[in-house]
Amino acid sequence: MTTALITGATAGLGAAFARRLARDGHNLVLVARDERRLSDHATELHDMHGVEVSVLSADLSTDEGIAAVEERLSDRRHPVDLLVNNAGFGNKGGYLDVPVADELTMLKVHCEAVLRLTTAGVRQMRERGRGGVVNVASVAAFLPRGTYGASKAWVVQFTQGAAQDLAGSGVRLLALCPGFVRTEFHQRAGMGTGNIPNWMWLEADRVVDAALKDLARGRTLSVPDPRYKTLIGASKLVPRNLMGRVSSRSGRKYGPTRTSDDD
């Protein structure tokens, strides 16, 4: 039986990965900060699918939290076959509105944690000659829009570069780039979503199905949904400064807005 470790497994995309992988018969290690929520989720998945589900409470914005997960990924007696680096969040406001400390926390969770956990997981997988890593990025990686997009661009570049270096090792790496997904993400960040049209929303379960299909096919980039594939294709043809202006205008029209109680 194989084991998958998922970060950010209490909500949204991470919870959807956990549901799908438990249904497929994988044992799970669920990582996030909210221990109570993790345990409830673990019990539910174990009861429903009969798989072993353990929980690891860790804050990936801290060195101790990252180190605890690195240690679990380095445990040769209980190897992890699939790592899903999914934990993440958004900061409300544009550049200069967000305190630098909050930007650094985002880089710690989106970049440093992803680098360190991927490295710990992949070392073990390469020794065994098999394994997979899904690093959750975003379509924002392809648009010149703030620290969030920049951190996700790093995830895409890092993942595809590592995949190339590991070609032939039996270890696959995939950067997953969804558009808007119905999760707790925007609410947690205090972003209003009323101006995002219905057609732009994706369902978490479908995003996960598409990602696992692309990983199985050996792809290194997954953009679930043809509408977002077209958007990314177009972004490559348009000069970057023009893309920045268009993306910022449509961001104001369609992107998350500050909620009315924002200052």
Ligand X SMILES: NC(=O)c1ccc[n+]([C@@H]2O[C@H](COP(=O)([O-])OP(=O)(O)OC[C@H]3O[C@@H](n4cnc5c(N)ncnc54)[C@H](OP(=O)(O)O)[C@@H]3O)[C@@H](O)[C@H]2O)c1
Give the residues lining the site for ligand X (CB under 6 A): 7-14, 32-34, 37, 59-61, 86-89, 109, 136, 138, 178, 180-181, 183-185, 188
H-type helices in the chain, by residue range? 12-23, 35-49, 63-73, 100-107, 113-128, 146-165, 185-188, 204-216, 226-237, 240-254
Comparison of 33 and 258: residue with beta carbon closer to ligand X: 33
Comparison of 51 and 84: residue with beta carbon closer to ligand X: 84
How far is the C-alpha of 24 from the C-alpha of 212, rounded, in Å? 11
CB 214 within 8 A of CB 174: yes
CB of 102 to ligand X, least distance (A): 12
How far is the C-alpha of 251 from the C-alpha of 159, rounded, in Å? 26
Tell me if residue 7 falls in helix, strand or coil: strand
CB of 101 to ligand X, least distance (A): 14
CB of 141 to ligand X, least distance (A): 9
- State how beta strands 221-222 and 191-192 pair: unpaired
Comparison of 130 and 154: residue with beta carbon closer to ligand X: 154
User: Which residues lie below 8 Å from residue 211, measured CB to CB, with a gap of 6+?
Assistant: 134, 174, 176, 222, 224
**Which residues are known to be catalytic?**
148
CB of 118 to ligand X, least distance (A): 14
Comparison of 102 and 130: residue with beta carbon closer to ligand X: 102
CB of 259 to ligand X, least distance (A): 15
Comparison of 132 and 149: residue with beta carbon closer to ligand X: 149
The C-alpha torsion from 211 through 120 and 23 to 159, rounded to 10°, is: 0
In 3D space, the residue among 176, 173, 172 whose CA is nearest the CA of residue 225 turns out to be: 176
